Amino acid sequence: MRRTRQITNLLFVALLASACFPMTTPTPTASVLVPLSTSAEKYHSLDTQTTIEEVNNILTAVNSKDQQKITDLFSYTAVACRTVNGMGGPPPCREGEAEGMLVEVLPILGPEGTYLWKDEISNWQGLDVIGLYAVYEVSESAYSDENFPKGNYGMILVGEVNDLNAVLQVTDAGIVRIDYPMALDVILERDAERVILAPKE
């Protein structure tokens, strides 16, 4: 009986002691949100700015998705048209244009060379791009000729569709040529004198 009373007293004391000391509440662990991997992480946003003013002006126009703002930055080349045209040669004379007549065009360099005529620029389909891969200073050895002038800077743009990646050849006068490359990483190895904005990967 005495032993039972001692046990009861001990339990009562323990109960009083637990009431005097607050229970320890476990500190919640901060949850870390890991963003889902998206393709946007693989390239720079179109609102990226560089130290080159003419490049920034063009990026602003491209990011606006306003086709007129982009075409306003085209710097056309005056080239004598030819009635017989070969791949990569001068622009073909259109109906009503005589051999050797100067026409204003924007050169397009892809698997084949072609041109956008200034007076037909409203028919241009525009740039379907979603990001900026890199910006570089164009090397002296990069391809150019009288029909396909190169820029001082190259802006590599990532297309919504892989085969619609584009390189804008840029001078202080604006966009002088558009290239449609097969592989983005090859461009820097082949054409860059100096990388101004490096790829993310």
The DSSP result for 13-41, as a single string, is HHHHHHHHSPPPPPPPPPPPP-PPP-GGG
pLDDT band at 41 (very low <50, low <70, confident <90, very high): confident
What pLDDT, on the 0 to 100 scale, is given for residue 173?
96
Helices (H), 103-176: none
pLDDT (average), residues 47-57 = 96
Q: Residue 87's pLDDT is what?
A: 63
9-37 residue pLDDT tens: 444 434 334 444 344 433 333 333 333 33
* 201's tokens: 């990967």
Decide if pLDDT at 162 tops 60.
yes
CB distance 81 to 67 below 8 Å: no
Cα–Cα distance, 79 to 171 (Å, whole number) = 18
- The per-residue pLDDT for 201 is 73
In order of 50, 55, 66, 119, 169, the CA distances from 139 in angstroms are 19, 17, 30, 31, 12
Cα angle: 52, vertex 47, 157; to 5 degrees: 80
Instruction: Give 124-143 pLDDT, tens digit per residue.
Output: 989 999 999 999 999 999 99
* 8 Å CB contact between 102 and 76: no
Q: Which of 6-20, 33-47, 56-70, 112-126 shows the lowest per-residue confidence on average (mean pLDDT)? A: 6-20
